[in-house]
A and B are shown apart, each in its own frame.
Chain A
Amino acid sequence: MPGVYFITNEFLEDAKSAARDRGMPGIRVLTLPADKYYLARDSKQELQPLANPSFDRIIDALTRPLTPEEAKPSPLQKQREDSNIRVSGKDFLDAFEKTNELFLAKHWADGLPIVPPAPELVKAMLAGSTRSPQEVIGQVAPKNGTATIEKIAINAVMAGARPEYFPVILAAMEGFTDRQYDLTHMQASTGSFTPVVMVDGPIAQELGFNSGIGMLGHGWRPNTTVGRALRLSLLNIGQTWPQVNDMALTGRLESYTFFTFAEDTARSPWEPYNVSRGFKPGDSTVTVATSVNPVVLGGGAVTPWTGQGVIVSIVARIKSGGVVWPHSQTYILVLHPDCAVDLASRGYTRRSLQEYLYEQTRVPYEKLAGPVFFGHDNETDFIRASIADGRIRSGRAQVFLDALKPGGRVPVVQSHDDFHIVVAGGSPGYDLLFSYPGTNWANQTKRISGATLTSAGR
């Protein structure tokens, strides 16, 4: 079926890249000026000046005969890149600098200096796990590069990670490459998402992860280099680059290291987060989740706070979001230990807190959003379409059907399990809410295994 695609000019390279990735390099794409389109799109009248000059181009794209290459494109060749590269310099420091220049020029680095991934260092990294270097753990979106244990090890070396961290990095990559995880959305979307990487269980303490004051900041090698190893693995194995096929408009707030921290299980009044997700006590796990940037909703050293006040703030924040997307909405609530202890002293368990948040954030049917989006006249139609297609989890659809009527209260999530509650932070500390209003499930917890250099995670 002959057709033509319209995009804005800033996304032309992205569109060409995606077309090549799917084996159709010849698709015809027309562009609109981004600096005019986004301001004019509110009405047909405002867009008319852009539509008028587009008309002849549309007719041309639909009627101009195909070139031989468009009709039968040449087969795409497998990328031929050497597995090992020799970089020459007049001395070590010169070769080190040239390696960094080469890697950045090839889009193999993140802009900070990397540790040159010499075979000896990669071998040492691989020794941190029992797993075979050639084992494939999955494909990395958007280009579906093959993630082998060895490729992840190379990126982990570049990031400055120690070999004992390697099993944590591998488990996190298993999460990112899980087919249930919408990695394309995280890697490519304009939404500028940042992954949350949460380590749980005894390996966190053994490796020295920071879960206290400064947990999202610099200074703790496990937090920073595990996150950076994941950053580089996703960049290199998925082959993304800003302004090409990573279109995060602002970049990511924690672009180099992601939001990487550990749960403070010692100070938490509740069972470890991973146990609440069905893992055994004593298991070490890592959770990866796509997130927009967190908001601070209480705690701190300046103004007084109470645990109850914090969760009231959280409810108000969520309800002010304005749109109910129960198909995918996920929240990660990071309570600092004092707040969690205060809530526990008032009788809250993790489960009862989840149930409180689920109930209190329900939106009155009369307040559902009305504007058209994604082809739906209002939010009620949007949710009904999701139910009809089976996007609401088994057993939960009736809850929404019952709520979609006058007097009903519509949940913002499918179940209370979509509020992920973790305890971490300082004393005093802040309470953070991460959210993800994305298109698909993007939260995976994987057990850390195969460790050779730590007691935990074996």
Chain B
Amino acid sequence: MGNWYMLTMVGKDRPGIVAEVSQVLFEAGGNLGEASMARLGGNFTVMLMLQIDAEKDDVENLLQPLGEKLALFFHIDKIIGDLYHHVEPNFRLSVHGADQPGIVSMVASSLAKLKFNILNLESDVGGSPEKPIYIMHIEGVADCSLSSLEKSLQPLINEKGIVMHLVSIDTMLG
């Protein structure tokens, strides 16, 4: 079935990018795996697992004309396509407050000390240009209690004046 690659693309957002990229890959015999696309600050961004019977150079040559046409930067890495082994998050952390330097770094450092593995992180800047607010959601897995996580995050809440909401995720399997 070919090699797995991670294709990263970044450019100015406009309608039709996903359609054009996926058509080129499909016509070249590519198979898409997991993907995450987001519009970040007006930019189109996507990370896309691609399985294709081709070497990295060939994939780059395939995408070059499209990259030029759509003004997209792209980057390709060979990866292991480890599908069907999802790790379930057991905690979800929501953070929001006045935007200020260091929120992510401080939150992530506290989590890392407890060997919290971040599986998903999404953040947005909202509010107004004069008074921006920062909103972040983290899902991850850690082998510790909710209260120990809360304890490690408490100093940040006090210091940064941000609001944190931490919950355990109890996946209902039925």
A binds B: no
Binding site for B on A (CB under 8 A): none
Residues of B within 8 A of A (CB): none
